[in-house]
Structure 1
Amino acid sequence: MIQYEYPLSERIRTLLRLEDLFDRALHFSARHDSHDHHAALVTLFEILDVTSRQDLKSDLYQELERQRATLEALRGNPNVAADKLDEVLAMLEAASQGLRRMVGKTGQHLRDNEWLMSIKQRTSIPGGVCEFDLPSYHYWLHLETDVRRRHLTEWLGPLLPIRDALAVVLRLLRESGKTSRQVAQQGVFQQMLAGRMAQMLSLKLNGGVPCIPEISANKYALNIRFITPTVEQRPKTFEGDVEFDLTFYNL
């Protein structure tokens, strides 16, 4: 089964992008090759760009506190497992504490590093970080693996409370899902939403079916068109019926 998640709000779209970027940065920084560490650094610059577009830290903190207040009200409810509730509340508190410990503007430690900013500026140019453009970066890439990894950890570490907080928010969002089995007749599916707008939806379908979903949605209707993936010609609508699981998520 292949799952496709689709954000229905700008806030969730930003969180999903950051989740992917943090996963990529941590993956490449843990490896050994200099090319992997270059990929980790470029991804770190992408994280910096995304987090600087809005007051993400404050938004995440408010959402964590909102969820905490909602869950605290469930204490004593016989239909709620007390140990599970305590576990989730502890997770929320830990993420909130991490955000509270962050000082200043998100990513300011990177912006204050002139050497990193010189590399960031060159990465926007195709081939702009060649050794003749940035000999100091070429030298860094030839340092011992442990030294490069230590630097990457120092640069990425102050941003990890953002990663931890968004992971908690997305976990709670994903656990809120309500799933139904649907069929797209001749590759096309439409559902009226009657003004009920979710924050995210996901589609899960058999990976053996050669099609991918194109999704558009607003508060009135959801439209899904399954298309045949191709790298050689313009994609076209899949001609068969497609069974899939449709899940709506809301915090």
Structure 2
Amino acid sequence: MICYEHPLNERIRTLLRLEDLFNKVDFFLARDTPVEHHAALVALFEILDVTGRADIKSDLLQELERQRGLLEGLRKNPEISEEALNRVLNDITVTFRDLLNISGRIGGHLRDNEWLMSIKQRMNLPGGACEFDLPSYHYWLSITPEMRHHDFSEWIAPLLPIRSSSNIILKLLRNSGRIFRYTAYQGLFQQTDSGHLAQLLRLKIDKEIPCVPEISANKYALNIRFIPFEPDQKMNVYEEDIDFELAYCNL
């Protein structure tokens, strides 16, 4: 099965973007070549842009506090593992404290680094990070991988509470999903007034089916078109019936 996630509000969209970017940083930093560390820095600059919203810290703090209150209310539920509940609540408490301790604007330590900002500015131009444009960056890419890893650990450490917060919220959101099985007849599925509240849709289909879902949703209706995966062809609706799973996730 292959899973497609579709956020239904801007806050969840932002968290999914952050998750993807932090994962890219992890992937490229696990390697040692200059090209891969360049890619990690590109992802770090994108994280800086995404977290540039003034309210992202307060949004995360409010949601963590709300989830802590909801989870505390489950303590007397016999179907809930006390150990698992305590583990999640402890993660929330630690992450909330770390997030609260971030002083100033998110990513301010990066914005105050003139060298990094000069590189970021050049990277906004196609091919702008060539060695003749940024000789000092070219030198940094030539130093030992261990030294570059050390620099990266200092640059990304103040952002880790943002990552932990978004990971906790996304995990709780995904685990809240109620799964239903549907069939898209001749590649089309429509639903109105389903009664399902959702902030995130998670759609799963057999990965052997050569098509992708095109999802359009609001609080009144859900429309899904399955499009054949043919990059060089005009996008038409997949004409066969498709069985799929759909999870409605809501915090």
TM-score above 0.5: yes
> 1:30, 1:149 within 8 Å by CA — same for their partners in 2?
no
Count of aligned positions: 251
Q: Say yes or no: does 1:102 pair with 2:96.
A: no
> 1:201, 1:247 within 8 Å by CA — same for their partners in 2?
yes
- Identify unmatched segments of 5+ residues in structure 2: none
Q: Say yes or no: does 1:40 pair with 2:40.
A: yes
Q: In the alignment, what sits opposite 2:118?
A: 118
Write the letter of the residue equivalent to 2:88.
V
Structure-2 separation of matches of 1:80 and 1:194: 28
Write the letter of the residue equivalent to 2:43.
T
> 1:192, 1:222 within 8 Å by CA — same for their partners in 2?
yes
> 1:12, 1:199 within 8 Å by CA — same for their partners in 2?
yes
Write the letter of the residue equivalent to 1:236.
N
> 1:177, 1:248 within 8 Å by CA — same for their partners in 2?
yes
Q: In the alignment, what sits opposite 1:62?
A: 62
Q: Say yes or no: does 1:84 pair with 2:92.
A: no
Alignment of 1:1-251 (within 5 A): 1-193=1-193, 196-251=196-251
Q: CA deviation at 1:80?
A: 2.6
Q: Name the % identity.
A: 57
Q: CA deviation at 1:101?
A: 2.1
Structure-1 separation of matches of 2:150 and 2:230: 42
Mean Cα deviation higher: 225-234 or 166-175: 225-234
Structure-2 separation of matches of 1:209 and 1:229: 9
Write the letter of the residue equivalent to 1:192.
T
Q: CA deviation at 1:206?
A: 0.3
Structure-2 separation of matches of 1:78 and 1:124: 54
> 1:197, 1:218 within 8 Å by CA — same for their partners in 2?
no
Structure-2 separation of matches of 1:244 and 1:80: 29
> 1:122, 1:129 within 8 Å by CA — same for their partners in 2?
yes
Write the letter of the residue equivalent to 1:234.
K
Q: Tell me the C-alpha RMSD between the 2 structures.
A: 1.1
TM-score by length of 1: 0.97
> 1:173, 1:249 within 8 Å by CA — same for their partners in 2?
yes
Structure-1 separation of matches of 2:197 and 2:52: 27
Write the letter of the residue equivalent to 2:164.
D
> 2:199, 2:249 within 8 Å by CA — same for their partners in 1?
yes
> 1:196, 1:220 within 8 Å by CA — same for their partners in 2?
no
Over residues 146-171 of structure 1, what are the superposed CA-to-partner deviations in whole Å (9 max), with x where a residue is unaligned? 00111111111110110011000000
Q: CA deviation at 1:77?
A: 2.9
Over residues 38-58 of structure 1, what are the superposed CA-to-partner deviations in whole Å (9 max), with x where a residue is unaligned? 000011000000000242111
Structure-1 separation of matches of 2:76 and 2:181: 35
Q: CA deviation at 1:91?
A: 1.5
The alpha-carbon distance between structure 1 residues 194 and 244, as it changes in their structure 2 partners (threshold 3 A), is: closer
The DSSP-based 3-state class of the residue aligned with 2:189 is strand
Structure-1 separation of matches of 2:81 and 2:149: 42
The DSSP-based 3-state class of the residue aligned with 2:3 is strand
- Identify unmatched segments of 5+ residues in structure 1: none
Structure-2 separation of matches of 1:159 and 1:126: 27
Write the letter of the residue equivalent to 2:48.
L
Structure-1 separation of matches of 2:242 and 2:149: 46
Structure-2 separation of matches of 1:128 and 1:234: 34
